Chain A
Amino acid sequence: MNRYFSWRRFWAVLTKEFVQMRRDRLTFAMMVGIPILQLILFGFAINADPKALPTAVLAADNSEFARSFVRAMENSGYFRVVRHIADTRAGERALAIGEAQFVVTIPEGFARKLVRGERPVLLLEADASDPAATSNALAALLTLNQTAFRHDLRGSLAHLQNQLPPFEVRVHRRYNPEGITQYNIVPGLIGTILTMTMVMMTSLAMTRERERGTMENLLATPVRPIEVMTGKIVPYIVVGYVQVSIILAAAWALFGVPMVGSLVLLSLALIVFIASNLAVGFTFSTLAKNQLQAMQMAFFFFLPSILLSGFMFPFRGMPQWAQWLGEVLPLTHFLRILRGILLKGNGPAEIMPNMWPIGLFLLVAAAIALIRYRETLD
């Protein structure tokens, strides 16, 4: 055999490596699963050009022109009328809870003014907290007033076509008028960083005991499961709050992110969100055999969380199935709560629709964790 490089020795190491790879099912699943998961998520689910965005219409003028305009909006593909509302307060709320991305207000006497050539004003309010989600739609809208009434302005009204545009669309970018991306990303980071650290830390906390052999000693003592679980979780809640404080301080000092809403409300919502992540981590730690597996599970949870929650890409740009998946994840709802409180100044009533799904998730995850945790070594 060669002193410096022997094929036989090399081959021995190589085959051993393959055998071990095959034994470690989860790692193997990761190696195959991660590319597939990424491919599907990036390839199919993610779309930086979201279409069919939910739009609410407040039509004080129910003329043919108003209807044509709304139809033209829908034909552009970017807008989908989800409801007709009666007053501005309803529009305000639809934007706040995220039910609608846009609210179109067609003022009274729109048709009359149009016919007289007075260039009436249409109001379009956009939830611009995520600039990426709305920019293309707004760009498309600007070309609409050129074409919307091509069919209506005929005969005696044909002259209105020449003094284009016959009306004005005034766009209000709500919550983030300058379209600053950081306003959207930085609050989102709070949720993302929490998901990553909380799930990972707790999933390691229990598996570390098992891997190092200290679990047996711990179980042999009179300590009860609920004492172990809470004793291990509370330190990380504290860690979570420290993290949030750091990010919030940086968001305020470095990026000037507005904080319109109540920080008290935010920290209350935070408890539920952190707890739900810790429960997931705890469940992983009861399933994983060692710390590596726990890390892998945490990663499997983190990847869809970051991609499907609306953190990196507009939620409404995703196909329906991906949105359903996203709705299951606590991060999706927490991001809406966070952005809602910080940018929109939402109160308890507005965050409720996103609060209960996190609560439900927490209950299910905690139940699984407690069922899986054994006081014995069985």
Chain B
Amino acid sequence: MSDAVIDVSGLTKIFGDRKVVDDVAMRVERGQICGFLGPNGSGKTTTIRMLCGLLRPDGGQGTCLGFDILREAPEIKRRVGYMTQRFSLYEDLSIRENLDFIARVYGVRERRRAVNATLEQLGLARRGGQLAGQLSGGWKQRLALAACMLHEPRLLLLDEPTAGVDPKARREFWEQIHELAARGITILVSTHYMDEAERCHELAYIAYGKLLITGTAREVVVHSKLTTWTVTGNDLFALAAELRSQPGVEMVVPFGNTLHVSGADAQLLAQTLAPYRERAGLDWQRGKPGLEDVFIKMMDYAPDNFES
């Protein structure tokens, strides 16, 4: 008996004549935090929606919490906590009324107690009567997470839960996520933030509907075979323009006052960079490629089926 909470393969979704999700396979073990990454419009949201029964896949099969995603969507809906990308609680209901509604719909036992406990946990016990629409972005996000935890789901699907949330709230959010994972709850979370990606147990990277890579953050970096040099100094903008056309240089990305120069062929890259390292006013370091370097590279090389 496998311990996979999400186990799907061949997942495909077609909108019109566009394959938005193309043959995606995914496996997430119990208690794992899986980071779901990819550029805008790459199919993250669509994949998550298929996992929780909001969209019907056009192809593929698999299970979520042991239930068939094609035939047992109602069962999955009952047991999954799904946090939408956009705040989707009722802004014209109070915090308590929102929680009450969700608890009722899911048939939570001892509803009043569960709602009170949630309010207490959120630190919103005294503000329960406030309209949800009046909350700030960070509070809305906390409320939304609390709402989708009310029925004590074994699997959380979080769609860009931290978009537009300040760093402190994000950090607290991630502490909570790890706490939940430690309790055996499985979490699939999509994000654009690389620091968040590094907090995940494993990553899945999707671009243009295709799953490009899965694994831990380290595995992803190693797998990319990318070598990165960083350089600081004067007039980096001109240097970047110059380097881009050189052999072995695949990516030149400015990060503030430093420039990341990366390529898959380490030897060729070193050769190319050798004359530049002699230049005055430049400080070269052999760096480690970051996840961002890896993902930007993968994005550049992924076939863009939106243009074809």
Bound-state CA distance A5–B84 (Å) is: 45
What is the CB-to-nearest-CB distance from B68 to chain A, in angstroms, rounded to a whole number? 15
Cβ-neighbour of B89 out of A214, A222, A376, A377 (below 8 A): A214
**Residues in B whose Cβ lies below 8 Å from that of A212:** 88, 90-91
**Residues in B whose Cβ lies below 8 Å from that of A375:** 73
What is the CB-to-nearest-CB distance from B180 to chain A, in angstroms, rounded to a whole number? 18
**Residues in A whose Cβ lies below 8 Å from that of B54:** 216, 219-220, 376-377
What is the CB-to-nearest-CB distance from B53 to chain A, in angstroms, rounded to a whole number? 7
**Residues in A whose Cβ lies below 8 Å from that of B102:** 221
Cβ contact within 8 Å between B90 and A214: yes
**Residues in B whose Cβ lies below 8 Å from that of A35:** none
* Closest residue of A by beta carbon distance from B87: A213
Cβ contact within 8 Å between B105 and A223: yes
B169 contacts the other chain (Cβ, under 8 Å)?
no
What is the CB-to-nearest-CB distance from A204 to chain B, in angstroms, rounded to a whole number? 13
Bound-state CA distance A213–B56 (Å) is: 19
Bound-state CA distance A377–B77 (Å) is: 14
A320 contacts the other chain (Cβ, under 8 Å)?
no
Mark out the residues of chain A between 337 and 378 whose CB falls within 8 Å of any chain B CB in the assembled complex: 375-378
Number of A-B contacts (CB under 8 A): 50
Mark out the residues of chain B between 60 and 96 whose CB falls within 8 Å of any chain A CB in the assembled complex: 73-74, 77-78, 80, 82, 84, 86-91
What is the CB-to-nearest-CB distance from B261 to chain A, in angstroms, rounded to a whole number? 42
* Closest residue of B by beta carbon distance from A215: B88
Cβ contact within 8 Å between A217 and B89: yes
Q: How large is the interface on B (under 10, 10 to 19, 20 to 34, 35 or more residues)?
A: 20 to 34
Cβ contact within 8 Å between B82 and A222: no
The SS class assigned to the B binding surface is: loop
Cβ contact within 8 Å between B105 and A377: no
B52 contacts the other chain (Cβ, under 8 Å)?
yes
B49 contacts the other chain (Cβ, under 8 Å)?
yes
Q: Given the known A-B contacts A221-B106, A222-B106, A376-B54, are A216 and B77 also in contact in the complex, defined by CB atoms under 8 Å?
A: no
**Residues in A whose Cβ lies below 8 Å from that of B78:** 222
B298 contacts the other chain (Cβ, under 8 Å)?
no
Cβ contact within 8 Å between B55 and A217: no
**Residues in A whose Cβ lies below 8 Å from that of B87:** 213
Cβ contact within 8 Å between A222 and B52: no
**Residues in A whose Cβ lies below 8 Å from that of B55:** 376-378
**Residues in A whose Cβ lies below 8 Å from that of B84:** 213, 216-217, 220
Bound-state CA distance A145–B87 (Å) is: 78
Interface string of A210-251 (1 = CB under 8 A from B): 001111110111111000000000000000000000000000
Q: Given the known A-B contacts A221-B105, A223-B105, are A378 and B88 also in contact in the complex, defined by CB atoms under 8 Å?
A: no
Cβ contact within 8 Å between A376 and B53: yes
Cβ contact within 8 Å between A222 and B56: no
* Closest residue of B by beta carbon distance from A223: B105
**Residues in A whose Cβ lies below 8 Å from that of B49:** 377
**Residues in B whose Cβ lies below 8 Å from that of A213:** 84, 86-88
Q: Given the known A-B contacts A214-B88, A216-B84, A220-B82, are A378 and B77 also in contact in the complex, defined by CB atoms under 8 Å?
A: no
Bound-state CA distance A212–B91 (Å) is: 9
Interface string of B97-108 (1 = CB under 8 A from A): 000001001110
Cβ contact within 8 Å between B77 and A220: yes
**Residues in A whose Cβ lies below 8 Å from that of B106:** 221-222
Best-surrounded residue of B53, B80, B88 (most CB of chain A within 10 A): B88
Best-surrounded residue of A212, A222, A376 (most CB of chain B within 10 A): A222
Apart from A222-B77, A222-B107, what are 16 other A-B pairs with CB-CB below 8 Å? A212-B88, A213-B84, A213-B87, A214-B88, A214-B89, A216-B54, A217-B82, A217-B84, A219-B54, A220-B54, A220-B82, A224-B74, A376-B55, A377-B55, A378-B55, A378-B56
What 8 pairs across the A-B complex have the smallest Cβ distances?
A: A217-B88, A213-B86, A220-B82, A221-B105, A222-B78, A213-B88, A216-B84, A222-B77
Pick 29 A–B contacts, CB within 8 A, sort by A: A212-B88, A212-B90, A213-B84, A214-B89, A214-B90, A216-B54, A216-B84, A216-B86, A216-B88, A217-B88, A217-B89, A219-B54, A220-B52, A220-B54, A220-B77, A220-B82, A221-B77, A221-B105, A221-B106, A222-B74, A222-B77, A222-B78, A222-B106, A222-B107, A375-B73, A376-B53, A376-B55, A376-B73, A378-B56
